[in-house]
Structure 1
């Protein structure tokens, strides 16, 4: 099942012998980190096992939102909104970004009160985010049939094109001096005196003093090779896109039965509002206790299944030699088969709410693996056990919108400069220092 078409980025032919920082992973987090570091004057090599933006960075909904985020992410996302507003000009490229607003609907009075309570997290940020009454929503969307109590509307939120963003940022990083290496898996890191001294790639060694792991769903496997326990599992979300359609909403909308986002080409990206598939795999048992709090809260929205993915992951090597192919070379791109049932149901629910979608023509379907942590908050952190090693991963389905600011924060940490926001909530050590793992937001 082919994934979405992603703007191709041709990797550099020459492998640098030495750089300051190697970034592992060519999604929006890795490319944004590489751009920030290159702009700061560091020598950077970005190594991607497949193609730039080929996994979840091109398969997500394309939302750029601060609304309904975990409150721990709000300060960083506020910075992301500022970065996105000038990003295309800065990188001299097209990410498809547009400030068009996002709406979270409320089916009943309890949801309305919950959304209104959440909205207090934005006090002091000078953002336009407010509650809409049912009448105000219907006036905004006169053709809708959606039964609701009201909605949360954040006009400062926006959208961008996942198939364009990471490639455009990568090309900008290259113009700033970064090496962009595709089909170049990193097999492991090397240390000297207990500190990072380089990486071994499938194409050879690169000497460096810092490494950033931005490997998305692959990060836990890579980290485990070096004795680091990163509790991370995968959740599959299925998406469909339509051909251009006139008369649909300009704003992105989330509802219990569907989520939609208008695309740059005039079509729409459509998915289930809350249902995702979770494949039971060996790591499901390894990290069961870590994820138990999240499971107890979110189980209604998760569809568990036992199938071929269990055996695929059971066969993955967890230890390998640096002079032999790693698991990353045997699977260049995670391209799961989408759930037609879930995406068809989302389109049916959307058509009931907005009859104009009865005319929609499906152009493509795909699925992607979201890399989730037990508290649904990312790791953006230096790793104390291996000086010079860093992680920016586990974005739990929220990484696309926050990506440019996450790259900035990761670069701040690598450079030792004042961070764009306090990074305490994103520390890797929270999973091992006895901290209580809190599940604050289900979105």
Structure 2
């Protein structure tokens, strides 16, 4: 298996190399070639809609190929549970839909419980799971020991969901992209969208670095770039980034085939025989100008569990301070000067995570790290994505802010966007994903302490999927 991550450094900041002609017209233009954008285009093409995906770098070059590959319903924010359930069904049929291996396997996921505090937290979550008839359950010490005979240390139990699983980030979105092309959808790489043109309050076209494409709808599946892109449209999209660090091992026989997370480690088996490993609860938040602009919106997250984020101040502050916030369609944009977000992984975080893992699962004692990488995770103040139309610009849909959950729930999120565009019955309710909910945050102390209160720290304690 060839991993997309081997291409991470080679594409960063390169000049545009596209040689494909730009179509003059399409029904829908999708901005962003990650899993949300590609899957949305695939579902639209299935319905006979002409669709073009414009990607400033290459398909799945950022978070969509760098995440952990977990596909889970377990532990989701209550707002996301219906979407996670719908996504699991779509993942189960994804190999058949694309005709290409995506790596999806239903292997089960375990969240280990260190003490009664963990047990209580998951017991509270199980009340939501019960409403949706999920197969999640709490295992106690005896059952846990039966399943993991070599497990070291004291553990009170584990939250377990048998129907959860995994897929391969380096394969899945590429498989969807190939399927999209066979259905007549176009993907134009090395093609940044600069602006959206409107007429009478409706989408008229997108202007790319290579020319204009007239269209009726534009889908912003722009990940960590969404706040910047929306700002040029006069839309305030509350979003920050955290940096995750991930590694993969060489082929290793012996450890469990399922996915497991403790408080300070996580792993899952890969299709190539190795393991993807990271340290749970250990992402880095770089202090940037938007950290201050959005301080009150994200304050509840820091107040509730701020110790799970590692703040860093460095050159990124000045880079973002000097990044243009407004531009015209005939000007070079930030999406062309930096085509791929390629942050460096934290060696400290990864070494800690591997050490923690080996202490609990001795089967990893001889694991040899093959590669490590960083990923920029886009987060919203409540760690729930936005999937919504935009008042004042008919035909514009935002699908972003997935807070590290986009890979797992991506298929259903994309299906929902396609439903919205084609006015079909939505696969799940879009109400929890309205943009307006984020604008209300941070306006008063009462509002600051209300709601999910997860934001940055949810992305920190959950795997980037």
TM over 0.5: yes
1:241-280 paired onto structure 2 within 5 Å: 241-280=248-287
The match for 1:130 is: 137
- Aligned-pair distance for 1:76? 0.7
The match for 1:4 is: 5
Question: How far apart, CA to CA, are the structure 1 residues paired with 2:202 and 2:388?
Answer: 16
1:65-214 paired onto structure 2 within 5 Å: 65-214=72-221
Deviations 1:56-113 (Å, cap 9, x if unpaired)? 1111110000000101000011000000001110111111000001001111012112
Worse overlay, 37-46 or 10-19: 10-19
RMSD (Å), alpha carbons: 1.9
Question: How far apart, CA to CA, are the structure 1 residues paired with 2:133 and 2:339?
Answer: 43
Alpha-carbon distance change, 212 to 286 in structure 1, aligned in 2, over 3 angstroms: same
- Aligned-pair distance for 1:356? 1.2
**8 Å CA contact 1:91, 1:169 repeated in 2:** yes
The match for 1:438 is: 451
The match for 1:240 is: 247
Alpha-carbon distance change, 23 to 12 in structure 1, aligned in 2, over 3 angstroms: farther
The match for 2:411 is: 404
Question: How far apart, CA to CA, are the structure 2 residues paired with 1:139 and 1:364?
Answer: 32
> What secondary structure sits across from 1:212 in the alignment?
strand
Alpha-carbon distance change, 20 to 300 in structure 1, aligned in 2, over 3 angstroms: same
- Aligned-pair distance for 1:298? 2.5
Deviations 1:287-323 (Å, cap 9, x if unpaired)? 1111111111121110001001112211211111211
> What secondary structure sits across from 1:197 in the alignment?
strand
- Aligned-pair distance for 1:429? 1.5
Worse overlay, 264-273 or 138-147: 138-147
Question: How far apart, CA to CA, are the structure 2 residues paired with 1:245 and 1:80?
Answer: 29
- Aligned-pair distance for 1:54? 0.7
Deviations 1:8-32 (Å, cap 9, x if unpaired)? 9x97812111001100001111111
The match for 1:40 is: 47
Match status 1:287 vs 2:288: no
Deviations 1:204-235 (Å, cap 9, x if unpaired)? 00000100000000000000001000000000
Worse overlay, 309-318 or 179-188: 309-318
Q: TM-score, normalised by structure 2?
A: 0.92
**8 Å CA contact 1:11, 1:180 repeated in 2:** no
Q: TM-score, normalised by structure 1?
A: 0.96
1:333 corresponds, among 328, 340, 349, to 340
2:369 corresponds, among 362, 371, 374, to 362
1:20-31 paired onto structure 2 within 5 Å: 20-31=27-38
> What secondary structure sits across from 1:240 in the alignment?
strand
**8 Å CA contact 1:236, 1:369 repeated in 2:** yes
Q: Which runs of 5+ in 1 are unaligned?
A: none
> What secondary structure sits across from 2:149 in the alignment?
coil
**8 Å CA contact 2:300, 2:453 repeated in 1:** no
Question: How far apart, CA to CA, are the structure 2 residues paired with 1:12 and 1:20?
Answer: 22
Question: How far apart, CA to CA, are the structure 2 residues paired with 1:349 and 1:262?
Answer: 17
Task: List structure 1 runs of 4+ shifted beyond 6 angstroms.
Answer: none
Alpha-carbon distance change, 423 to 325 in structure 1, aligned in 2, over 3 angstroms: same
Deviations 1:351-396 (Å, cap 9, x if unpaired)? 0001111100000010101100000000011112211111000000
2:391 corresponds, among 384, 393, 400, to 384
Q: Which runs of 5+ in 2 are unaligned?
A: 11-16
The match for 2:231 is: 224
